[in-house]
């Protein structure tokens, strides 16, 4: 059975569309007078809040040592399988040889990364940190896979108050830089 829906008849004014045009112009002019909320990106950049989670990076400690011990926890937890860690041994003649492992290779595929921060949360060494970079672009898929050198270049140094891997126990020795 078909149903006929009665349509409301338009008034004379409604048929001229003048009220709708005035209503639209009113909204346009009202927004013109409001303070600007848009940016001319990329010439203008937004101010990021503290703790912003941008692209993941690898960081070194205040002594320039890589903090990562290639435990692969970040690789296992990453929901988008963006991380690949190849564990390796620290050179026997290094003063940090007692730490046993450091990554031989470390890759993050930025095309897969969803900036969730799970890798940072799980890292026992605070070695992987999401920093302020949010605008990633490249000409090929390959260049969007960042290797260890690129990740350290983006991450830089992040000194820890606790010198976890220092062999020196006394504060005096630490202050003299003997570690």
In 3-state terms the chain splits into helix, strand, coil percentages (rounded to 5) of 30, 15, 55
Min dist. Cβ of residue 79 to ligand SF4 (A): 6
Q: What number of chain residues touch ligand SF4 (CB under 6 A)?
A: 27
Report if residue 90 touches ligand SF4, rule: CB under 6 A: no
Give the C-alpha separation, 170 to 179, whole Å: 10
Report the alpha-carbon distance of residue 119 to residue 137 in Å, rounded.
22
Q: Under the criterion CB under 6 A, does residue 102 sit at the interface with ligand SF4?
A: no
73 binds ligand SF4 (CB under 6 A): yes
Residue 19 vs 79, nearer CB to ligand SF4: 79
> Which residues 31-60 are close enough to bind ligand SF4 by CB under 6 A?
56
Print the binding letters for residues 115-154 with ligand SF4: x by CB under 6 A, - otherwise: xxxxx--xx-x-xx--------------------------
Who's near 34: CB < 8 A, 6+ residues apart? none
Q: Which one, of 97, 115, 112, lies nearest residue 51 by Cα? A: 115
Considering only residues 16, 20, 80, 132, which one is a binding residue for ligand SF4 as defined by CB under 6 A? Answer: 80
Nearer to ligand SF4, 25 or 111 (CB): 111
Radius of gyration of the chain (CA): 28
Residue 68 binds ligand SF4 (CB under 6 A): yes
Which residue, 142 or 172, has its beta carbon nearer to ligand SF4? 142
User: What is the distance between the alpha carbons of residues 144 and 11, in angstroms, rounded to a whole number?
Assistant: 60
- Interface with ligand SF4 includes 69 (CB under 6 A)? yes
Token representation of residue 134: 């949010």
Torsion angle defined by CA atoms of residues 135, 73, 60 and 64, in that order, rounded to the nearest 10 degrees:
-150
Binding residues for ligand SF4 (CB under 6 A): 56, 68-74, 78-80, 82-83, 85, 108, 113-119, 122-123, 125, 127-128
């Amino acid at each position: 059975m078909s149903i006929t829906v009665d349509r409301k008849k338009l008034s004379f004014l409604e048929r001229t569309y003048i009220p709708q045009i005035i209503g639209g112009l009113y909204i346009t002019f009202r927004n013109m007078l409001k303070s600007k909320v848009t940016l001319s990106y990329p010439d203008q950049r937004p101010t990021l809040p503290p703790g912003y989670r941008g692209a993941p990076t690898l960081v070194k400690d205040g002594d320039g040592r890589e903090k990562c011990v290639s435990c692969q926890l970040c690789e296992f937890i990453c929901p988008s399988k963006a991380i690949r860690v190849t564990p390796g041994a620290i050179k026997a003649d290094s003063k940090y040889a007692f730490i046993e492992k450091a990554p031989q290779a470390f890759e993050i595929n930025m095309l897969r990364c969803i900036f969730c921060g799970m890798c940072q949360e799980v890292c026992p060494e605070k070695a992987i940190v999401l920093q302020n970079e949010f605008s990633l672009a490249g000409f090929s898929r390959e260049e969007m896979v960042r290797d260890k050198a690129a990740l350290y270049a983006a991450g830089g140094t992040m000194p820890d108050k606790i010198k976890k891997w220092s062999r020196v126990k006394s504060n005096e020795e630490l202050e003299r830089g003997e570690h």
